[in-house]
Structure 1
Amino acid sequence: MILFLATLVIAQNNNLLAGEVFSPGQEDESVEELQNKLEELSFFSVSQTGLYGEETRRAVERFQAAADLRPDGIAGPETLNAIDRALNSIDISQREELKIYTHNVDVIYLQYKLSQLGYLATEPTGLFRNQTQSAVKEFQTDHGIDSDGIVGRSTWQALEEEFDQLGDATYDTDDIEEDIEDDTEEAVAEAEDQKETTEQTAEVNVDEMEIIRSGDSGEAVAELQENLIAIGLYPLSADGDFGHQTEMAVRQFQEMSGLDVDGVVGPATWEELLTDEEGEEKSSTYQVRSGDSLWTIANRFDASVNDIRAANNINGDTIRAGQSITIPGNGDSNINQQSVEALSWSQVNRLFPRNSTATVTDVQTGLSFRIKRLYGTNHADVEPLTAQDTNVMRRIYGGSWSWDRRAVVVNINGRLIAGSINGVPHGGQSINNNNFNGHFCLHFEGSRTHGNNRVDSEHQNMVNRSASQNWPLYRN
């Protein structure tokens, strides 16, 4: 493989100040050093100013999301250490084995190295997916290592050795330009061959896919979760464990796809998820939801942030809820967006009678849980269906109950309806083993409180926020 690196930047400063916390508004040389490191990792693309402004905050947030850290945009010791780990060589024994679907800072380091060595032409995502696996296999083949796509000790050693050799190498500018031209032609030919091979092997035999259900674990579960992430129904990382949230996402997908809703992923569900139509790659549109960023959208659809920027003429990172953006590489015929309905309380009252169940999804976090309607005349008084559902609801509220209103989407028999909840157990209950001592309130358009018989403006604001959403769903 011809390496066509015209320049090679090696981090000379090993550590940012470990005890320092960088936050918006700060301005000094250490912020510029932080920006330099983020730029080297392809997370920061504007001029280094030394001012911790909005662009820096978003860059830190994107890095944190890629490193599987809390994406709060504040660079504290944990984030700073992760940045240095993503840039610098350390004892190989401290690098964990990486394989498909791993999501952590070591994957950022791996992707950074592969990119510098010319094997990976994308910015780091922190998520070990098919493109990274292909690059690893190519590197392993070139270095006489078993090309299993798993990064163990031997692969780490070879990466470090080659990277060290590149750091010591000198290049003649004319030779580099010639290599770039030759390698570009070679890369085009290789890309065409790879595309042809991919098209020939794209057909999926869903009958051979493993039937999986709650309690299972392994690569098939991780693949399922990746597909659910791609269509916006699963808000967590693909950990390969078929838990409660995975089952909720499967049930939502089955409901919205007209399948039997049993939470079991068999041939019919696999086919709906995996079967792609043949033909040229097209673009599709996605409507931005509250809490989205270019980074999370790129990860959800396995696309490049820069490609999304280019397709939508976006210069920075600012996007807004409700904005329609083009996702390169996803066929229009494969993605369908189902609008969230703003139904009046009188309509919902008929659709959602007492003792019936529904699925609630929090707009901001994407987490879902099941509910049962208890009673209520001015609005729905509901309970989490099980203790697991209560745990999800508590997580949505950050670990403690609150009267704060939250925008939610309520799936009632396949219809997505805008709603608003508060999060404090109160009053009566009918389910005694769900770890929720009482019920909570679920409001819809025009619903009123029980106490003063008035429309609650905060609930209505959340209902309107939910009604602005379009939810993506792949259909074949």
Structure 2
Amino acid sequence: MSQLKIRLRTLMAIIAALTLLVCAVPVSGFTASGSEQTTEEALETVSSYPYTTKTKVKVNLRASRSTRSTLLKKIPADAEITVNAVKGSWAEVQYKKYSGYVKTDYIVLKEVKKVKATPTPTPIVTLSPEEDAGGYTILQKGAEGAEVSSLQEALIELGFLTGSADGKFGASTEKAVIAFQEKNDYPATGIMDANIQAFLYSGQPKNAKGTKTSIKTLSPVKEVSMKKGNKGAAVTELQQKLIELGYLKGTPSGTYDTDTIGAVRSFQKKNGLTSNGTADATTRALIMSGTALGAKDTATPTVAITPSPTPTMAVPSESLRNGDKGDDVKLLQKRLKDLGYYKSSVDGKMGKGTVKALKEFQKAHGLKDDGVAGQATYAILFTDNALKKGTTPTPQPTTSSTPAPEVTATANTSASWPTLRKNDSGTDVAQLQEALIQLGYLSGKADGNYGAKTVDAVKAFQKANGLTADGTAGEQTQRTLYGGNAKAANVKATATPKPGTTAAPATNTNGTLKVGSTGADVKTLQQKLIELGYLKGTADGVFGKQTASAVKAYQKASNLTADGIAGSQTLSSLSNVAAANNAAASSSTASNTNQKTTVTPSASKVQYANWYDKVKSVARSYPYATVYDIATGISWQVHIFSLGAHADYEPVTANDTARMEKVFGGNTWNPRAVWVVFSDGSVYIGSTHSMPHEVQHVRDNNFAGHSCLHFPRTQEQVNSIGPYATKHQETIDAGWAATQKMK
């Protein structure tokens, strides 16, 4: 019996131990306490950026990688977004028509892994029109021809390939392509597809040392415009033809240099094209056609026929871009469909199909093919000058019985002054109308048609500005209109401002000051209004009723919308007054009476100062400034919003954009030397271009992006940035030399 008890006790002990063991081990998926376990899921893998994903929760889209930056949009939870890049805890994303940055914690991330080169590449194919990225053909090992030569020249320029370009895609070229792809975060396949080629020639690829740069080797696509510094076989061919036509002397250099630009300008002027020195698709085709006029040829005058009036087309009331909806979009789609560019239904939704058709139309008409429909596009699209798809325009050489006088400038200029008169149409007319609207001489919208209302507006402008009031906009009228000193319609006298050094107000985070706003921006605004005699008392930094009344009084006297809200135009106007007052106060010869809102800077006041040591801090303190083109005397107002290796800025109004584009002859990356007048009265030599790109804050200035201001740097600083900085530094130095001659 005792033996049985011992066995039972042993069995009970074993059962108890097993029970304790089972209780100590958690059930799969749960902890010992019963709470659910969380396991980190493996990230989905993709080969490259960009990729599509979704938000986890509602997330803020910011203008930069900072929670203090401007809030662009609140993206809802589970929304589809495109991730373009990830850096640290921030992702650069695209949501509908908005681009910005979000915290990576709030989106579903994917792991980006480079794809290794495949041993057997796919056969060489030519892209279909739907896939076409600028007319490029896929290049890989075994390919031959001019496109391969251009690729090799580009790779040599970037330092990935040695030797000379032989036009044969062999093992060494393939190796260089793989090195280029790895350096620029592309899959290392050894195959150059259309998108990579477009990035190589038109973007800012990294060279072998890892520095971003813009190459000078010209793209092999015939539609690409030739600009200063471009190199390649196509340039040599163009130069040879210009020599044969008598516009260029010597032998082809293969580089699109100053002599070539001058020859192209002469050719364009002789053959009735816009004389800007840029060999765009139309200019290149005419030079190579065999039908162009030579330097010594005489054109046969043609009798001008006055066109019969045509019904006015309905034109959209504002700019349109991807994601917009409504009747204006329907007007755009219907017109594109009538011309054969748009094939889908007219549904009033600005989607990919509409954008693609618009880009095709813009490209066919020599416009910036950005897929954004603005006044410049409308000025051609909604007129009889618009070409149907597939139609090739025949250039018609023109003659003039009385040549216009040549204007001698202190620096190279691309601004042209075609005489505009009744029944003319196009982008030049649209720019003219935009400037007249801004100054209060013309109402409505800029439609690009020089009709009776435009004639009357020009006459009124000419009369107010002491010009011959004939309604024809010649060079003198346009120089006055775009020059910055033009008198607005019905301008009322303002109180004589006292000279001082108070800075003009900077904007707050949303660019607008109104009743209820507080802080340093409001205090600076009040100080300026007190100096100008519109506000009494002291500046307390609180935007109340008295401040609103003072703002209204200033706006009314300055011919601005008198709503008591200090928006971008009001702040810009005050900034301009500050610059004029302070510049005048610092000059011993300046008068404090009858001040104008814009003054021509004195060359003796211009400073050559390093961006990092001096100018950057000035730009941070005074973000509103006046940019003055040295060669033409035209100026425009800008708002500086970002300070890195240079200053990013936007034209404040559509009129400022029109002035800037008048100087540059449109949109171009080619820099020009300028004087920059800040609100404290200081003036610095710099350089800028007119090509809109990337971030845009101001939506009503007809400039789809921002531009850049560059200031002097040391050679070491220039070298660390890359070739584009070298180009700007050379422009600045040339502008400084011209400035010294003016003193």
TM-score normalised according to structure 2 size: 0.24
Pair member with larger Rg? 2
Structure 1 or 2: larger helix share?
A: 1
Higher relative contact order (CA 8 A, sep 6+): 1
TM-score normalised according to structure 1 size: 0.35
